Amino acid sequence: MDAAVAFYGKQPPAEEAKKIHIPLLLHYAENDERIDAGIKDFQAVLDAQQVPYNLYMYPGTDHGFHNDSTAARYNEAAANLAWQRTMEFFAKYLKTPA
């Protein structure tokens, strides 16, 4: 794997996170206390391992903000921005050799 993107997913335990060495793009919902509780510890591991990552917290969003089949949580503006960032991230890190 050359790069990875996570949408509001639970972070791996520290011992597993230490195995990560690829660039990451991390999207989190502001109103997702259960998932967000592990962000600081995860960042500490990534920083210690010098893993390149970008983390975005989407204001006013709930877990599942990118899932357009759940109208109560879907946030079109945040979803579009997260998708744009995802495509730019993959274009940067997953370039096809010439």
Torsion angle defined by CA atoms of residues 50, 54, 58 and 61, in that order, rounded to the nearest 10 degrees: -60
Cα separation, 90 vs 72, whole angstroms: 29
pLDDT at residue 59, as a whole number: 97
Residue ranges of domains in the chain? 4-93
CATH architecture under which domain 4-93 falls = 3-Layer(aba) Sandwich (3.40)
* Residue environment code for 5-26, b if the CB has 16+ CB neighbours within 10 A, otherwise e: bbbbeebeeeeebeebeebbbb
Strand 4-7's sheet: what is its strand order?
4-7, 24-29, 53-58
CA-angle at 7, arms to 53 and 22, nearest 5°: 30
Confidence band, pLDDT 50/70/90 cuts, at residue 95: confident
pLDDT in tens, 4-50: 999 998 999 999 999 999 999 999 999 999 999 999 999 999 999 99
